[in-house]
Amino acid sequence: MKVNGTPFRSLWWDQDAGALQIIDQRWLPHEFRIQQLNSLADYCTAITDMHVRGAPLIGATAAYGMAFALREDPSDSAMQAAYDQLHATRPTAINLRWALDRASAAMRPLTPTHRAEAALQLAHHIADEDVEINRRIGTHGLALIRAIAETKPAGEPVRLLTHCNAGWIATVDWGTATSPMYQAHDAGIPIHVWVDETRPRNQGALTAWELGSHGISHSYITDNAGGHLMQHGQVDMVITGTDRTTRAGDVCNKIGTYLKALAARDNGVPFYVALPSPTIDWTVSDGIAEIPIEDRPEHEITHVQGRAQHGIATVQVTPEGTPGGNPAFDVTPARLVTGLITERGICEASEAGLAGLFPDMAAR
């Protein structure tokens, strides 16, 4: 996608510097900053402190982190140490483990002298693969939006609601939930997107920044406004992303997603999840019982960052001494999900549905 007319991915390898460049998302939507990662500690901090965020992007970053570590020391022990450090950064998004397992499995049979370059090429491949996966998700999601548009009077927009940021800066490019939106807009289908603010980190502001940059009509709304809009017929479809999905179709996504699914079910609004296959955890069947939910620092609840008169500032919004509780994700049961939009097509949120599209993965 483009920022001020210049094409960007959310991360890229700088051949001259021999280092990974990332968009430091902590400063968006107010400032666009690029950060170079120069140590394994930089990679770990970038993931833990959400310089990069979004399950697909975390996975790609971790793949480059393994490549960096193997350039420094290609031994078995160093590779395992790098795996452990990167794996410990965030517990919920499965793409992190998926990328690390993929890199580790590919590198172990190689002699140490060949590992660094092979790991870097694999990281490039994972990044390019993510772009193509998300493009194809958008193609399938576009068909859903087009079908709704065909039922509307000419010129009336398809009204979509999304939660958190599952856009191009949460992936390598295109995004998951936003990819159908971009493709619908580019195809000339009028859409309007209700963008949840997504407390506590207000990641909806990132979605609004993305959509505005692409010229897509949108409104930034409070997290609690979605049910009201659905009750009054102002939402045609909900599309969210996912950080981990069980083999049975339960979806783990940013906190508050479950409430949107409940409101959608109560009001007969289709609730779809844009699902890249690396986010499927085939080892888990019960999302509520088995998926670890990350508890993030309480200051994300008690303080808010925004643009002030003299630049970006952080302010406290709670009484002094009030503690905060900050579960970062929740699980939406498969029974509340209308369908899963994947790179291979759309399926029901069930083990049979997923296995039908991904028999090669389900059988492992």
Residue type for 140, please? H
Average pLDDT over residues 111-116: 96
Distance between CA atoms of residues 13 and 16, nearest Å: 9
pLDDT at 157: 98
Q: Is 243 a catalytic residue?
A: yes
Q: What band does 362 get if pLDDT is binned at 50, 70 and 90?
A: confident
Domains of the chain: 2-129 (1.20.120.420), 137-362 (3.40.50.10470)
pLDDT at 364: 72
Quick check: helix, strand or coil at residue 89? Answer: coil
* Token duo for residue 171: 């992936």
Per DSSP, helices labelled H in 179-284 are 179-186, 204-213, 226-231, 257-267
pTM summary value: 0.96
- For residue 67, count other CB atoms closer than 10 A to its CB: 25
Judge whether 158 and 237 are in contact, CB under 8 Å.
Answer: yes
Give yes or no for residue 363 having a pLDDT over 80.
no
Reported residue count of the chain is 364
Quick check: helix, strand or coil at residue 313? Answer: strand
Mean pLDDT score of the chain, rounded to an integer? 96
Average pLDDT over residues 251-260: 98
pLDDT at 5: 87
Structure confidence by residue, pLDDT tens digits, 176-225: 999 999 999 999 999 999 999 999 999 999 999 999 999 999 999 999 99
pLDDT at 4: 86
Structure confidence by residue, pLDDT tens digits, 260-288: 999 999 999 999 999 999 999 999 999 99
Provide the Cα torsion 299, 304, 305, 307; round to 10°.
-160
Question: What whole-number percentage of the chain has pLDDT above 90?
Answer: 96
pLDDT at 309: 84
Distance between CA atoms of residues 340 and 67, nearest Å: 32
For residue 170, give every residue at least 6 positions away whose Cβ sits within 8 Å of its Cβ, in sequence order, or none: 10, 53, 54, 55, 56, 57, 176, 206, 241
Give yes or no for residue 93 having a pLDDT over 90.
no
Out of 243, 250, 281, 330, which one is annotated catalytic? 243
- For residue 117, count other CB atoms closer than 10 A to its CB: 14
Distance between CA atoms of residues 40 and 89, nearest Å: 12
